[in-house]
């Protein structure tokens, strides 16, 4: 069942912790996909996102998805620790 995030302007289908199974814009809003020109460390990337959201007068909850890349495979424990760092 979809859950509303009115402050973000979308609805999402819950998934496992730290993930959703999908997201759709609510009427009157749109989901914009942006890609950085070059990879940056994840903390720097989140700072860029926060600055952009501030510049366009949107709350942090407007971030409805993100794709992260890692230089090497994670163990399950390592992946959980990474997710805990930005959730």
Residue 5 pLDDT exceeds 90? yes
Q: DSSP readout, 15-66?
A: -STT-EEEEEEPTT--------SS---HHHHHHHHHHHHHHTT--GGG----
Check residues 74 and 25 and name the one with the higher pLDDT: 25
Q: How confident is the model at residue 35 (pLDDT cuts 50, 70, 90)?
A: very high
Task: Give me the pLDDT at residue 16, please.
Answer: 82
């Amino acid at each position: 069942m979809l859950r509303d995030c009115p402050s973000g302007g979308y609805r999402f289908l819950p998934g496992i912790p730290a993930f959703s199974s999908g997201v759709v814009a609510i009427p009157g809003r749109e989901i914009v996909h942006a890609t950085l020109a070059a990879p940056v460390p994840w903390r720097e990337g989140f700072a860029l996102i926060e600055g952009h959201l501030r510049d366009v007068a949107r709350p942090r909850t407007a971030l409805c998805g993100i794709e992260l890349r890692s230089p090497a495979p994670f163990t399950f424990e390592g992946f959980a620790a990474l997710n805990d760092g930005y959730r």
